[in-house]
Structure 1
Amino acid sequence: MNRSDVVAGVVAGAVVIPQAMGYAGVAGLPVQVGLYTCIVPMAVYALLGGARRLSMSTTSTIVALAGLAMAAAGTPDDPDEAMAAVSTLTLLTGLALLLFWLLRIGWVVDAISDTVVSGLKIGVGLTIIVDQLPHLLGIDAGPDGFLRGVGHVVTHLGDANRATVVVSTLTLGGLWALHRWAPRVPGPLLAVAGGIAATAWAGLPDRGVELIAPVPSGLPVPALPPLDDAWTMLPYALAIALMAFMETIAVGRGTREPQDPPILAGRELLANGTAAVAGSFVATAPPAGGFSQTMVNVEAGARTQLSSLVTAGVAVAAALFLAPVLSDLPEATLAAVVVVAVTGLLDVGELRRIGRIDRAELVVALITGAIALVTNLLVGVVAGVFCTYYLVLRRLNHPVLTEQRPAPGLLVVRIEGAMYTMNVRAVQAELLRLAAEDPRPRVLLLDLGATLDTSVTVLDAFVAAEQQLAKDGVELWVARVPEAALAKARRTAAWPAWRDSGRVHPTVRAAVGAYEGLAAEGPDGAA
């Protein structure tokens, strides 16, 4: 047994378990849901997953979406009914991930832009912080949503409980101090221990400080998830599956060492989906690989998934022996743990970096985050997916054209990227513009070596460009035409004229040689 994995598993458990319990509260669920999520999904991923150091329970992004799903289905007041409802959501999430695996469409999800995810994380982080403010202040919970939540807090500041504010302030200050000056110390564990001790020592309930709902002792009893609200929860489950896979594979790749096996999308979909399905039978939240908890695992010395099995064992021990003690935990303490955990999502430095590289991507990130704030996270996720594919189409629809003039009267234009129906008109217009610049060329040679294939629309556009250039006294040649495109071009009516007039060449060098030979014959031969 690797001693470093055992130590890492214990240390990670000290951070992950309180954090997961707090995340359960974000979704309006009993805190034991977070505790159970650190057992079954974590153990299943440890057996099936490809990332050796990844720690899987749940994340702030996932629970924010889960909270929306629970609200849409009408979050039950009874803890048992709430746990039954979340088991349905987790089952649907797992089945969606397994469907992605069966259809082998991990590449579609994996293509979501990191820029979009950065914007979503900021929206998630701000929404969760605002959602936790009532617990930090000791006031009644407000309506869902960032803007309405801010308005509720502002109008109820006068109702804040002083003892609760003191507990919140001390806990937040202590957590941030440890994060700043002693990052290896398990701050969440110390915060939970301190909150429980303060409850007994200072009589916090008598001072108006709310405690979390009682945590039942023992392990969860497996049960079949009900399907009553399945159709209501399905859109949220699909969004959660999308985000869970994105986070899991990003964390896995981000913590992979050179000697580790590659992180494969298919394997991660299978492992994450199976972990969710297994967890649904014991009322866990939808699981995903979390970056902060995984970094705790890595920094504590984890080498293999044995560390996650140890963390799951720590969670089992907590469920069996510590439930009565955990029931004395102030809500404000747990809220402070959540707030400090999600502040890592507010990465302004990453936005600055994106802005320096590409302002258009920064705008997309800000729009995605703003949509998530103004509406809700589900709409933000959908908008983020569309924004990602907007960025892809934007790049594809504006291929780079590089130009050279290797000989007088010869303009060589290389098209960097694929051509297809949506961008060929832009390429056609750019070619006509370049041909009209002084000095006007006699021959415009297209280097098509960077393209892959063609279509009827692309071929028609080239014929139209050739006719327009001919009117202006410019002849269109092509070189390095891909074999697939050449096969299609041979079937067109215009092909014999192109072939017989010597305008198709195997290489750019051959085309330049042919042009120089014609130019040597005189103006009539060159044109």
Structure 2
Amino acid sequence: MKLSLKDIFPIFEWLPNYNKSWLKGDLSAGLTVGIMLVPQGIAYAMIAGLPPIYGLYTAMIPQIIYAIFGTSRQLAVGPVAMDSLIVASGVATLAEIGTENFIEFAILLAFMMGVLQVIFGLFKLGFLVNFLSRPVISGFTSAAALIIAFSQLKHLLGVNIQGDNKLHSIVIALFQHLKDINYIAFAIGGISILILIFFKRITTKIPAALIVVVFGILVVKYLKLDEAGVQIIGNIPEGLPSFKMPSFNIEIMKELFPIALTLSFIAFLEAISVAKAIELKHNNTYKVIANKELIALGMGNIIGSFFQTYPATGGLSRSAVNNQVGAKTPMAAIIASVVIGFTLLFLTPVFYYLPKSIIAAIIIVAVYGLLDFKVPKQILKYSKRELIILNSTLIVTAVVGIKEGIFIGVILSMAMLIYRSTKPHIAILGKVSGTHFYRNIKRFEGLLEVNEAILIVRFDAQLYFANVQYFKDKLEEYVIEKGENLKLIIIDGESINSIDSSGVYMLYEIIKKYNNLNIDIVFTGMKGPVRDVFEKSEIMKEISYKNCFMSIQEAVDSFDKNSNNKENGRNFIKYVKQTNR
């Protein structure tokens, strides 16, 4: 298939057709998101253990690249809290936070993550993210939110502690330093939290983070609170990011690979879920293409790493504001990047007196929205096994580590999937009186017609090596329950979508076994892929087409007809014998 320029660079789809009426919305959204990104970029860089300037670089470069390659018109790309935490926890095992090596490894991580995302996109492997089930995502997200929030308490309280990204370690360290609380810093942070919550409830169009940033800078500068022990950001270098090759080190890349792989999936999941949600609000005026999104995010991280950015993805709060304020195209992202560029060139000295307690307040309010209370409440009602997966992921992530938490969650999800497939739902069917419909006799107990000579079984899964023994055992159990009157077994294949060689051999066995007991086996509603296997494996010769029916009712009617013919035959023979006496 021939690719057009639009397929490779989606910007050529919307830019040549740009409508001047869109500019007002794009300009307004771009300015708003750009202003939001300044304090967010600084804040998220602190979570990642990086100097603030790298948060601003990451807020600028990936957005421009995404505008060229991305398929969403409103997704706002840049640093996010969760990914910043993963960067900090992963890179901290290789280098001390804040050191030159730490910065180099974080930038290299962005490059590796980007390469993986592009590869996944080119080979259309976006479906792999489906292995992160909803309970795993919920547990991981809530644990990450707790870790981020607690890790910022040291800035909110104005205490100096050395801690890792394990929740219990952070809590213990905080208790040990309660006597060192700087109550001025705590008051500034507390007031900032109240302002952020207040404005969020009134409107999302006003950048509340900017208001508290200005408030903090003015209060600290003119009251000289830095001399009273209030921790401030200090010097932020001026100027746009320069071109610089990431430091490629094979040994370090091997160590970073698990983190890069984790980030590539988590970041894509964050971005695609936000992009799809916003797409629905625009009545499909454009289409978000998952594999192209992978390439766009990957290219943003690859190219960004050459301009000293750390891992970036689509942010929920920024994208929501971008959409609400009126963004029509990725031109809004380009305008937001210009705002960041202007800040880097001229406004970084303004942030010298910005107190760290305000940055902590911004982060804490932002990550509160990541705490997921809804999913645990819902699955508690209908799936306690999945609740175990959720809680296991949450606890392991919070106490042991992020990689380990995700790994445990995925393994438990796969184990539960395999377990369920080994013992799928199987039902005995009875006839709904006066109709041709057949339903589960356990769900409609006493309301269905059941023929003692017929056993109708529906197996609601594929027949494969892991569950053939279960099918065989359950069938034998049902046959014994039916007793000596049983003459026919009907296997309803409506829910069997595939069958492997183990299933084929099992069917050979049961057909021979029950035929020897003068019990016929017939099949109804078999799907095309299953019939294909029957033909190729030659089991159809064993079954024969006369024992295959379109519906259960046809199989029952055929049995009744044959039974009547046999009865008529026996009556005829009896009559002949009597007349010949």
Residue 245 (str. 1) matches residue 268 (str. 2): yes
CA distance in 2, matches of 1:273, 1:422: 38
CA distance in 1, matches of 2:356, 2:37: 17
Note closer, same or farther for the CA distance 1:77–1:270 as it changes in structure 2 (3 Å cut).
closer
* Stretch deviating more after TM superposition (489-498 or 308-317): 489-498
1:423 matched to which residue of 2?
467
Within 5 Å, give how 1:19-34 maps onto structure 2.
19-34=40-55
Note closer, same or farther for the CA distance 1:176–1:487 as it changes in structure 2 (3 Å cut).
closer
Which residue among 447, 466, 479 is the counterpart of 2:524? 479
Note closer, same or farther for the CA distance 1:524–1:481 as it changes in structure 2 (3 Å cut).
farther
Q: Check the 8 A contact 2:525/2:551 in 1, yes or no.
A: yes
| 5+ long unaligned stretches in structure 1 | none
Within 5 Å, give how 1:375-394 maps onto structure 2.
375-394=400-419
Summarize deviations over 1:226-258 as a string: whole Å, max 9, x none: 023222212111111111111111111111122
**Deviation of residue 177 (structure 1)?**
2.0
Note closer, same or farther for the CA distance 1:276–1:201 as it changes in structure 2 (3 Å cut).
same
Q: What is the TM-score with the length of structure 2 in the denominator? A: 0.85
1:4 matched to which residue of 2?
25
**Deviation of residue 522 (structure 1)?**
4.6
1:321 matched to which residue of 2?
346
Which residue among 410, 413, 416 is the counterpart of 2:457? 413
Q: Check the 8 A contact 2:454/2:489 in 1, yes or no.
A: yes
| Structure possessing the higher radius of gyration over alpha carbons | 2
CA distance in 1, matches of 2:548, 2:285: 49
Q: Check the 8 A contact 1:478/1:504 in 2, yes or no.
A: yes
1:460 matched to which residue of 2?
505
Within 5 Å, give how 1:71-150 maps onto structure 2.
71-75=92-96, 77-78=98-99, 81-144=101-164, 145-150=166-171
Which residue among 488, 494, 511 is the counterpart of 1:449? 494
Q: Check the 8 A contact 2:104/2:246 in 1, yes or no.
A: yes
Question: For 1:72, what is the secondary structure of its paired residue?
Answer: coil
CA distance in 1, matches of 2:517, 2:148: 63
**Deviation of residue 342 (structure 1)?**
0.5
Note closer, same or farther for the CA distance 1:470–1:343 as it changes in structure 2 (3 Å cut).
same
**Deviation of residue 153 (structure 1)?**
0.5
Q: Check the 8 A contact 2:50/2:98 in 1, yes or no.
A: no
Note closer, same or farther for the CA distance 1:390–1:290 as it changes in structure 2 (3 Å cut).
farther
Question: For 1:420, what is the secondary structure of its paired residue?
Answer: coil
Which residue identity does 2:454 align to in structure 1? L
Which residue identity does 1:461 align to in structure 2? M
Task: Report how many aligned residue pairs link the two structures.
Answer: 524
What stretches of structure 1 move > 6 A for 4+ residues in a row? 523-526
* Stretch deviating more after TM superposition (457-466 or 154-163): 457-466
**Deviation of residue 93 (structure 1)?**
0.6
CA distance in 2, matches of 1:486, 1:128: 54
Summarize deviations over 1:383-441 as a string: whole Å, max 9, x none: 23323433443454443334423462223223333222222323333333333435864
RMSD: 2.4
Residue 69 (str. 1) matches residue 101 (str. 2): no
Question: For 1:38, what is the secondary structure of its paired residue?
Answer: helix
Which residue among 5, 8, 18 is the counterpart of 2:39? 18
**Deviation of residue 476 (structure 1)?**
2.3
CA distance in 1, matches of 2:200, 2:539: 70
Question: For 1:52, what is the secondary structure of its paired residue?
Answer: coil
2:573 matched to which residue of 1?
none
Which residue identity does 2:389 align to in structure 1? V
Give me the identity figure in percent.
Answer: 24
1:45 matched to which residue of 2?
66
Note closer, same or farther for the CA distance 1:301–1:455 as it changes in structure 2 (3 Å cut).
same
CA distance in 1, matches of 2:341, 2:90: 27
* Stretch deviating more after TM superposition (407-416 or 310-319): 407-416
Summarize deviations over 1:185-241 as a string: whole Å, max 9, x none: 211111111111111122111110111242111111110000232222121111111
Residue 339 (str. 1) matches residue 360 (str. 2): no
**Deviation of residue 77 (structure 1)?**
4.0
Note closer, same or farther for the CA distance 1:76–1:363 as it changes in structure 2 (3 Å cut).
closer
Which residue identity does 2:172 align to in structure 1? G
| 5+ long unaligned stretches in structure 2 | 1-19, 432-449, 571-581
Within 5 Å, give how 1:396-411 maps onto structure 2.
396-406=421-431, 408=451, 409-411=453-455
1:222 matched to which residue of 2?
243
Which residue identity does 1:155 align to in structure 2? Q
* Stretch deviating more after TM superposition (461-470 or 217-226): 461-470
**Deviation of residue 75 (structure 1)?**
3.1
CA distance in 1, matches of 2:409, 2:184: 41
**Deviation of residue 343 (structure 1)?**
0.5
Within 5 Å, give how 1:485-524 maps onto structure 2.
485-490=530-535, 495-499=540-544, 502-522=546-566
CA distance in 1, matches of 2:517, 2:160: 76
- The higher-RCO structure (CA 8 Å, 6+ apart) is 1
Q: Check the 8 A contact 1:399/1:418 in 2, yes or no.
A: no
* Stretch deviating more after TM superposition (484-493 or 157-166): 484-493
**Deviation of residue 117 (structure 1)?**
0.8
Q: Check the 8 A contact 1:131/1:149 in 2, yes or no.
A: yes
Which residue identity does 2:403 align to in structure 1? L
